[in-house]
Amino acid sequence: GPGMPLFSVPKEVAVGTAMLGVAFATGMLVVFVTAKTPRSLIGKSSPLWQYLLDHSLREHPVLRKLRLLTADHPYSKMMVSCDQAQLMANLVKLIKAKKVIEIGVFTGYNTLNMALVLPDNGRVIACDINEDYATIGKPLWKEAGVEHKIDLRIKPAIQTLDELLARGEAETFDFAFIDADKESYNEYYEKCLHLIKKGGIIAIDNVLWSGRVLNPRKDDLATQSIHHLNEKLLRDTRVNISMLPMGDGVTLAFKL
């Protein structure tokens, strides 16, 4: 719950995975198999989790600065986990992406991570409805020298996606990261699928939703939306998928 302790992990790594209204433990690798299975495969109090970070996290100094700033924010648990953001950046670099869509910016940690690996003429179309959060990251985008690669659009993301499609930008983007209001996930996915080129990747965050997807309540629209999209993705012949137990669960959809 919201009062979940940070255990032994220092604040430097104790920043939550991107999530609205759910205080899910930072960066936990989660497996939900049976009622007897521990919720956390590698919890924050585990020396193994610290070992994982110590032996995999390569963080730009400005990224670290932004993560620490975000850790002090009342809604810090909305930020994507640092190890997951690093994976997103590695994927962006792997496919030599130039055009990226991000739906849900918060303070812009993941935005900065991706912008750092884009070529100088690369762009992140960063979509959010709250500019206050993004103002925390903006000065650090500039400090890192990537401000010109980030196109922040403060309006409903559906509107931005529709504008991109109307301008003939279908199948011109390489990568999309979806992490905003869960009720709109299916619509975000469908529009991103039109905007992403073949061979591109759509990353969908919070697909495990603290385990709520195991038994979605009828009155819980967010969980219902995530669960329905998870079921749809399993059978979607337009993509290949991998669902990863990283952070709060992330599905990678590779457009065919």
Domain that holds residue 94: 47-255
Q: Within a domain: residue 4?
A: no
pTM of structure: 0.83
Residue 106 has pLDDT above 70, yes or no: yes
Residues sharing a CB contact under 8 Å with residue 246, sequence separation 6 or more, in sequence order: 27, 29, 81, 83, 84, 87
Other beta carbons less than 10 A from residue 172's beta carbon: 14
What amino acid is encoded at 164 in this protein? L
CB 188 within 8 A of CB 157: yes
pLDDT in tens, 35-61: 333 334 566 678 888 898 899 999 999
Q: What is the pLDDT of residues 15-24, one digit of tens each?
A: 433 333 333 3
Residue 7 lies in a domain: no
> In this structure, is residue 15 part of a structural domain?
no
What's the CATH code of the domain at 206? 3.40.50.150
Q: Does residue 221 belong to any structural domain of this protein?
A: yes
Considering the domain boundaries, does residue 142 fall inside one? yes
Measured distance between the N- and C-terminal CA atoms of the chain, rounded to whole angstroms = 39
**Residue 170: inside a domain:** yes
Is residue 173, in this structure, part of any structural domain at all? Answer: yes
Number of domains comprising the chain: 1
